[in-house]
């Protein structure tokens, strides 16, 4: 009999997030077998070849049947349907968790669908890159990062404890938070920056005064700032649709600051511009040392 924390892990969506958790748990010896479940055969074959998973199937029901822990790592809008099918075929006492970037809509939709005896722990690792698919996964993605778990009044304490230990073994520090706070904070520190980066690339990339592509001239400033605009469009479409209110609030806040900046540029307000840039530098320097 296996003594590892998770004898059988099923990962639904073997991409950056699901694949990296599998690799982290394998590296720590915390998992027995990892079953990868996905829609595309090519990505599953790549995951097998890279040792991210031990077994692959495109049949969700079959893949989750014997799992002790099922980790859902598909785009946010697919999570409810995937959770409903998975939960209907999981064994009694098994734990379902997810890594979706928006929590309010997910937890509210999934909890009522769960059969008795299946425990759900909503989660979100605050770590990632702009890359997707099994090839993008790596074992140290979660090292030194936070993972937010958003238990509800119905969350089983034992299941919460196991999912907490899973993320700690993967290298993260776990923070518990209510879903509303989670979605507002993420709208500010993650979803807004992606919207700004996507807008910036579109604004500059569609500038056609010259016949050549001016993006080719871009150096560190543009490229560092817009790395995240290379992220997966499906993932970000789903986030924008499911965290709409919190995201709109932050987009309006950003517009107000941009409007102030525009006025100060227009009016040649040297002192105000200096203060604006200085305040921003101090705020950022305090988190990135
Ligand atoms: N990328 C990040 O930086 C990041 C960080 C934290 C959380 N997340 C969240 O994690 C989840 C996965 O993101 P990712 O970056 O790993 O994406 P990814 O594209 O690398 O992997 C997702 C995988 O799920 C598969 N898939 C999509 N729909 C499916 C379905 N219905 N059934 C089975 N498989 C399906 C895709 O084919 C893909 O292989 C998303 O909910 C995302 O919001 C992403
Ligand atoms: O580093 C990146 O590329 C990311 O976009 C990761 C990032 C973010 O920091 O905004 C993106 C989405 C998440 O749900 C969590 C983390």
Give which of 57, 64, 29, 40 is closest to 132, Cα–Cα: 40
One digit per residue, the tens of pLDDT, for the chain of length 289 reads 447 999 999 999 999 999 999 999 999 999 999 999 999 999 999 999 999 999 999 999 999 999 999 999 999 999 999 999 999 999 999 999 999 999 998 888 999 999 999 999 999 999 999 999 999 999 999 999 999 999 999 999 999 999 999 999 999 999 999 999 999 999 999 999 999 999 999 999 999 999 999 999 999 999 999 999 999 999 999 999 999 999 999 999 999 999 999 999 999 999 999 999 999 999 999 999 8
CA–CA distance, 28 with 21 (Å, rounded to integer): 11
Structure tokens given for 148:
């937010």
CA–CA distance, 286 with 22 (Å, rounded to integer): 33
Give which of 177, 120, 118 is closest to 147, Cα–Cα: 177
Map residue 179 onto helix, strand or coil. Answer: helix
Rounded distance from Cα 208 to ligand 1 centre (Å): 34
User: pTM (2 decimals)?
Assistant: 0.97
Q: How buried is 153 (Cβ within 10 angstroms: 0-12 exposed, 13-18 middle, 19+ buried)? A: exposed
Give which of 109, 99, 77 is closest to 236, Cα–Cα: 77
pLDDT in tens, 256-273: 999 999 999 999 999 999
Instruction: Indicate if ligand 1 lies below 6 Å from the C-beta of 43.
Output: yes
Instruction: Indicate if ligand 1 lies below 6 Å from the C-beta of 40.
Output: yes
Write down the ipTM of this complex: 0.99
Structure tokens given for 242:
């499911």
CB 119 within 8 A of CB 155: yes
Residue 121, strand partner residues: 97
CA–CA distance, 243 with 238 (Å, rounded to integer): 9
Instruction: Indicate if ligand 2 lies below 6 Å from the C-beta of 228.
Output: yes
Eight-state DSSP code of residue 101: S
Map residue 91 onto helix, strand or coil. Answer: coil
Domain annotation for the chain: domains and CATH numbers: 6-177 (3.40.50.720), 181-286 (1.10.3660.10)
Instruction: Indicate if ligand 2 lies below 6 Å from the C-beta of 129.
Output: yes
The closest-lying atom of ligand 2 relative to the alpha carbon of residue 228 is 3
Locate the DSSP E strands across 58-213. 69-72, 95-98, 119-121, 123-125, 146-149, 173-176
Map residue 20 onto helix, strand or coil. Answer: helix
């Amino acid at each position: 009999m296996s003594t590892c924390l998770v004898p059988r892990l099923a990962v639904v969506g073997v991409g950056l997030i699901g694949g990296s958790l599998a690799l982290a748990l394998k590296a720590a010896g915390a998992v027995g077998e990892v079953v990868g479940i996905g829609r595309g055969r090519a990505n599953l074959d790549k995951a097998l070849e890279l040792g991210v998973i031990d077994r692959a199937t495109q049949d969700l029901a079959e893949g989750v049947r014997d799992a002790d822990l099922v980790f859902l790592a598909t785009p946010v809008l697919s999570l409810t349907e995937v959770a409903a099918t998975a939960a209907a075929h999981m064994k009694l006492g098994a734990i379902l968790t997810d890594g979706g970037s928006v929590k309010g809509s997910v937890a509210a939709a999934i909890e009522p669908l769960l059969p008795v005896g299946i425990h759900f722990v909503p989660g979100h690792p605050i770590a990632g890159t702009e890359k997707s698919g099994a090839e993008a996964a790596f074992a140290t993605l979660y090292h030194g990062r936070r993972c937010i778990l958003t238990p509800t009044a119905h969350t089983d304490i034992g299941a919460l404890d196991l999912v907490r230990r899973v993320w700690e073994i993967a290298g993260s520090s776990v923070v518990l938070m209510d879903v509303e706070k989670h979605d507002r904070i993420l709208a500010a520190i993650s979803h807004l920056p992606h919207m700004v980066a996507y807008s910036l690339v579109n604004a500059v990339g569609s500038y056609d005064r010259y016949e050549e592509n001016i993006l080719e001239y871009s150096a560190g400033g543009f490229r560092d700032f817009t790395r995240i605009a290379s992220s997966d469009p499906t993932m970000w479409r789903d986030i924008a649709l499911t965290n709409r209110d919190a995201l709109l609030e932050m987009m309006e806040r950003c517009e107000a600051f941009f409007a102030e900046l525009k006025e100060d540029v227009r009016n040649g307000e040297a002192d105000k511009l200096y203060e604006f840039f200085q305040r921003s530098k101090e705020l950022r320097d305090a988190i990135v040392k």
